[in-house]
């Protein structure tokens, strides 16, 4: 659905809230990427992991196999409690992937001090070291630029003819859905306004911009006038309340 709304061609591709990179990997596997491709995110553990998948995939696979052999409840909680940021990039990447594959619903959530606090998931046989997929991602990431940077860093490099896709933490649709703490900083309404201004500045330069956000009156108001809005229904597996998983309305803004 997102793919249908993307422009038919562009020079460079930029994704400044890369997260799990769903659109980037979808575009790459369809051979849609040409020219310069730049991925960035504020989460330094995530960016260090992307860099290791791109540059050191074999040592990373080796380290993940060790986690796989040790996997247990005790190993999960001992790994989760590690002071990971001071460790080397391979350790950080293996830590991220191990916790992502074994934690509840593949969720990434941290407390104010940056401590990862997701409980262990209930998987019979988690695929902790998916070698085939890691090597495929390694191949896709060759030549891709990857930066630890806030979203407005895109203003330094995107130019006329480029395509920028923004998938920010969403405006919460209700008080209980205030689930936007992807980094320990959170993403405020002021950040949402700064994002809208960044998108406007890019459009004025002749950049094709596409954004995702919740279909919320606040978001509709933020992107008026000057933007086109399309509503889509999306399946969402990640929500703390099972009753709120399922189909939700999202906006695609261009």
Q: How many residues lie near ligand SAM (CB under 6 A)?
A: 19
Q: Helix or strand or coil: residue 10?
A: coil
Q: Which stretch binds ligand SAM (CB under 6 A): 120-128, 135-143, 163-171, 216-224?
A: 163-171
- Interface residue with ligand SAM among 107, 169, 210, 214 (CB under 6 A) is 169
Please tell me whether residue 116 binds ligand SAM under the rule CB under 6 A: no
The DSSP-derived string for 160-228 is TT-EEEE-PPPPPSSGGG----SSTT---HHHHHHHHHHHHHHHHTT-EEEEEEE--HHHHHHT-SS--
Residues 141-160 within binding reach of ligand SAM (CB under 6 A): 150-151
DSSP conformation class of 44: H
- Which has the closest alpha carbon to 236: 150, 164, 173? 173
- With respect to ligand SAM, which residue has the nearer C-beta, 138 or 192? 192
Q: Which of 6, 10, 13, 21 binds ligand SAM (CB under 6 A)?
A: 21
Of 6-14, 49-57, 85-93, 179-187: span binding ligand SAM (CB under 6 A): 179-187
Binding residues (CB under 6 A) for ligand SAM: these are 16-17, 19-22, 41-43, 46, 150-151, 167-169, 182-183, 187, 191
């Amino acid at each position: 659905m997102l793919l249908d709304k993307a422009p038919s061609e562009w020079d460079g591709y930029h994704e400044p809230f890369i997260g799990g990179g769903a659109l980037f990997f979808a575009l790459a596997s369809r051979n849609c990427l040409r020219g310069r491709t730049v991925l960035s995110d504020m989460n330094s553990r995530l960016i260090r992991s992307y860099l290791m998948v791109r540059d050191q995939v074999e040592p990373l696979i080796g380290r993940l196999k060790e986690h796989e052999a040790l996997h247990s409840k005790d190993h999960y909680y001992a790994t989760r409690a590690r002071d990971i940021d001071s460790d080397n990039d391979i350790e950080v990447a293996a830590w991220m992937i191990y916790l992502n594959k074994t934690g509840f619903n593949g969720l990434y959530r941290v407390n104010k001090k940056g401590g990862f606090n997701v409980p262990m998931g209930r998987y019979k046989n988690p695929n902790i070291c998916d070698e085939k997929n890691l090597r495929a991602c390694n191949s896709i990431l060759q030549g891709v630029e990857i930066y630890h940077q806030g979203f407005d860093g895109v203003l330094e490099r995107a130019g006329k003819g480029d395509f920028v896709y923004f998938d920010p933490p969403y405006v919460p649709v209700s008080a209980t859905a205030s689930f936007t703490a992807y980094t320990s900083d959170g993403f405020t309404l002021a950040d949402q306004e700064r994002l809208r201004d960044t998108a406007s500045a890019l459009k004025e330069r002749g950049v094709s911009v596409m954004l995702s956000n919740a279909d919320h009156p606040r978001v509709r108001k933020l992107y008026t006038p000057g933007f086109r809005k399309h509503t889509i229904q999306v399946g969402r597996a990640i929500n703390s309340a099972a009753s709120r998983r399922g189909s939700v309305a999202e906006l695609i803004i261009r």
